[in-house]
Every structure is written in structure tokens, then in C-alpha cells.
């Protein structure tokens, strides 16, 4: 896209959804680290998310996680979000932290446990109704650790049965977004281990079921941009979980470990219409910040996604297409590299200035004094974190 005004318009209309749990305490498998000023309830999480939106201008949606963000009055929570200039994004279920789910949730051998898990998913749809959320986001830790532990095909049947029941409960304007993960905590078989398994279930369910591509949930060397292009072509890419990783999991800031991969992904998004409103692709962050301050880290992730998007928008699509048609391998790669090597920070600074925002949202937040205010004000009570 060579028209700078069109590039700016696309960047101004971008929406990046932030996760409520990204503002709470988190850690490694061995330790959860507490920080001063961390939210103590979902309302304070929304207040922190509003800081990210206020400084970036592109983060008006916040994902909720149930039961971590369960409240007595969801209408009040939704009104509070609106007062902050936010709206509720995806409702994320949790069927992995209850003792009953040790051997699985919706794929558990015991029908009573499966019923409990499915009822929780249905509760999440009720919360969607109460908050106006359009998306139910599902991730299952279900799987097995040992050969012979359970019937692999039978677990797929149980999964399909639960998904079908929840799918039928969805409203006309609601979607089911099915995430996947290569492994962990199930180390022998995982019931939804890859995009193909998610795609197969979503295809059978119908048009309101789509795949979530988590950028950290793949085997090393996986060509994630191929998956993105394929799912966009099939109309089955529902959302991203942006993060960054080394080895086998996520939770680093988006674009931190491999910004070139994020650029390649966004190139396929731009090229295949993923930024257009009609495709309804949700660009979500899914990460926690264990050793860095929460709000500045989320701001950095948002700006990293913006930079990758800006570079993808600057690709000379005509020159790339011509080089590809002529079989010129070096020229084709050169077009992409020219865009990737462009410093888009001045362009994004102009975009923010035209939106009435500071040119550097990270520096502006640090200068705002908010970090010091929340550390001083949020004293007492129980901080939010994993499991809360």
C-alpha cells in the first residue's frame, strides 16, 4: 500500500484487545511475583486497561476471564468500562484450575465432570449476554500423560459433544473461538493440540465457530503465517493471541523475541483482507508480565503490533506481485525486506499526533505519574493474579 493517507487510516482504525489477566500478578511455574499497584478486582483491571487505550488510542477492548473476573453485577462492570471509553471483549472460560479437571474437563471420562465443565462454558455465554461480549474464547488443557490412559478418539467425541451444546446456546451475533496448544499440561496427547484439530471441530460446528491462532502455541519452526493465510482463505480465522516466546510457550511481550515473524504474520493479514471489518478478525494480546511493570509492558506490546502492521501496510503489493509472477525470488524477498527494514516509528508518531495523543505512548505513560499513583492508592486487599 503506497498511499500514506490510506496507511494512516488503516492504522487509526486498528483495534487491539488487551487481556484483563495481563494486569494482574503472574509468574513462572515456580513462583508468582507480586508488584505494587496491581489491581485487586476487575474494576481496577479495567482502569489499568483504560490507561493503555488512553495512550495508544487503539486498545478499547478488554478480554475477561471467568472465574477470575466474576462479579455480582456484570451490567455495572459493563457501564464502568463504557465510562472509561472501553468495551468488553472476549469472555475466556477456565476449565483447567479445578481439582475435578485433573483428568480433563469436557473430555473427562466421568460424565458428571463433563457436565460441570460444560455448564461453566454455558455460564460464560450468559456473561456474554450480560456484557455485550461477542466472543466466547475456549482453551482446554485436556489430554493424557500416558499411553493407554484414555480413549483418544473417544475424547474427541466428548469434546465435539460439549462444543455442539455450547454452540447451540450462542446468539446470532456471538462466536465461539477455539484455541489450541501443542502440549502442556498434557504431555502424551493433547485434545486440541494444533490448528488443524481446532479447524476440523469449527468446520463441523458451523460459521459461528472459528480458530484462534496463538503465536506461542506451536512447535519451533512452524510457519505460522501459512496457517494465517490458510484460515483467512477459508473464512475461519477468528482471532489472534499475540505474544512472543522462545522454545515452547508464550508470555513475552508481543514481537519481543521475533519481530520479523510478527511482521510476516501481519503481511498475510493485510494481503488477505484480515484488517477489513467484514472479516471480523480479533487482534488480542494473551500474555502475562512477570518481571516487568504491567501497564507499560502492555503498551509496549500494543505498539509492537502497530509497528508490524505499519510495515506490512507499506509493502509495495504491486511490485511484490510482479516479482512473484516473474519468478524473481530475490526481488520478491527484497520487497518484503524493504518494508520490514523501514523505520515506521515516525509514521506512527504522526498518526498518534493526528489522533490528539502523545507521539510516544510509552514515555507519555511513564511521565503521567499513574504508576506511582496506583502503587500508593492500592494498598490493602488481595491483589489479582493467577487464580483470582
- For the chain, give every domain's residue range: 4-377
Could you tell me whether strands 189-190 and 143-144 are parallel, antiparallel, or unpaired per DSSP bridges?
A: antiparallel
**pLDDT tens digits, residue range 280-318?**
999 999 988 888 999 999 999 999 999 999 999 999 999
**What pLDDT sits at residue 388?**
54
Level-2 CATH architecture, domain 4-377: Alpha-Beta Barrel (3.20)
What does the alpha-carbon distance between residue 372 and residue 388 come to, in Å, rounded to a whole number? 23
**What pLDDT sits at residue 1?**
54
**Exposed/middle/buried for residue 250 (C-beta within 10 Å: 0-12, 13-18, 19+):** buried
What does the alpha-carbon distance between residue 362 and residue 327 come to, in Å, rounded to a whole number? 43
Per-residue tens of pLDDT for the chain, all 388 residues: 558 999 999 999 999 999 999 999 888 778 888 999 999 999 999 999 999 999 999 999 999 999 999 999 999 999 999 999 999 999 999 999 999 999 999 999 999 999 999 999 999 999 999 999 999 999 999 999 999 999 999 999 999 999 999 999 999 999 999 999 999 899 999 999 999 999 999 999 999 999 999 999 998 889 999 999 999 999 999 999 999 888 767 678 999 889 999 999 999 999 999 999 889 999 999 988 888 999 999 999 999 999 999 999 999 999 999 999 999 999 999 999 999 999 999 999 999 999 999 999 999 999 999 999 999 999 998 888 876 5
**pLDDT tens digits, residue range 93-118?**
999 999 999 999 999 999 999 999 99
Cell numbers representing residue 334 in the block: 527484497
**What pLDDT sits at residue 27?**
83
**What pLDDT sits at residue 2?**
59
Cell numbers representing residue 335 in the block: 520487497
**What pLDDT sits at residue 189?**
97
What does the alpha-carbon distance between residue 48 and residue 381 come to, in Å, rounded to a whole number? 17
**What pLDDT sits at residue 288?**
85
**What pLDDT sits at residue 19?**
96
What does the alpha-carbon distance between residue 365 and residue 57 come to, in Å, rounded to a whole number? 13
Amino acid at each position: 500500500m503506497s498511499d500514506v493517507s490510506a496507511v494512516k487510516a488503516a492504522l487509526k482504525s486498528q483495534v487491539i484487545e488487551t487481556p484483563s489477566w495481563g494486569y494482574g500478578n503472574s509468574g513462572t511455574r515456580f513462583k508468582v511475583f507480586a508488584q505494587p499497584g496491581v489491581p485487586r478486582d476487575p474494576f481496577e483491571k479495567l482502569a489499568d486497561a483504560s490507561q493503555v487505550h488512553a495512550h495508544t488510542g487503539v486498545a478499547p477492548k478488554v478480554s475477561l476471564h471467568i472465574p477470575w473476573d466474576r462479579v455480582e453485577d456484570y451490567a455495572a462492570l459493563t457501564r464502568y468500562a463504557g465510562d472509561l471509553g472501553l468495551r468488553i471483549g472476549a469472555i475466556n472460560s477456565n476449565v483447567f484450575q479445578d481439582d475435578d479437571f485433573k483428568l480433563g474437563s469436557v473430555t473427562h471420562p466421568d460424565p458428571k465432570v463433563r457436565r460441570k465443565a460444560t455448564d461453566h462454558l454455558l455460564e460464560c455465554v450468559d456473561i456474554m449476554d450480560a456484557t455485550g461480549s461477542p466472543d466466547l474464547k475456549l482453551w482446554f488443557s485436556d489430554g493424557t500423560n500416558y499411553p493407554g490412559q484414555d480413549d483418544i478418539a473417544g475424547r474427541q467425541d466428548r469434546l465435539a459433544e460439549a462444543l455442539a451444546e455450547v454452540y447451540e446456546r450462542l446468539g446470532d451475533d456471538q462466536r465461539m473461538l477455539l484455541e489450541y496448544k501443542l502440549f502442556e499440561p498434557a504431555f502424551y496427547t493433547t485434545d486440541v493440540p494444533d490448528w488443524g484439530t481446532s479447524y476440523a471441530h469449527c468446520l463441523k460446528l458451523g460459521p459461528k465457530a472459528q480458530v484462534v491462532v496463538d503465536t506461542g502455541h506451536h512447535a519451533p519452526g512452524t510457519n505460522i503465517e501459512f496457517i494465517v493465510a490458510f484460515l483467512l482463505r477459508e473464512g475461519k480465522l477468528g482471532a489472534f493471541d499475540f505474544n512472543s516466546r522462545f522454545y515452547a510457550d508464550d508470555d513475552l511481550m508481543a514481537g519481543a523475541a521475533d519481530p520479523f515473524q510478527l511482521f510476516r504474520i501481519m503481511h498475510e493479514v493485510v494481503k488477505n483482507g484480515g484488517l477489513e471489518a467484514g472479516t471480523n478478525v480479533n487482534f488480542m494480546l494473551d500474555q502475562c508480565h512477570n518481571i516487568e511493570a504491567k501497564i507499560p509492558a502492555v503498551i509496549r506490546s500494543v505498539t509492537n503490533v502497530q509497528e508490524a502492521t505499519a510495515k506490512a501496510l507499506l509493502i509495495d503489493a504491486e511490485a511484490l506481485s510482479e516479482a512473484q509472477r516473474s519468478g524473481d525470488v530475490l526481488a520478491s524477498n527484497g520487497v518484503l525486506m524493504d518494508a520490514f527494514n523501514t523505520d515506521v516509528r515516525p509514521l506512527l508518531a504522526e498518526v498518534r499526533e493526528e489522533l490528539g495523543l502523545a507521539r510516544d505512548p510509552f514515555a507519555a505513560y511513564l511521565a503521567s505519574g499513574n504508576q506511582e499513583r496506583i502503587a500508593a492508592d492500592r494498598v490493602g486487599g488481595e491483589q489479582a493474579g493467577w487464580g483470582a
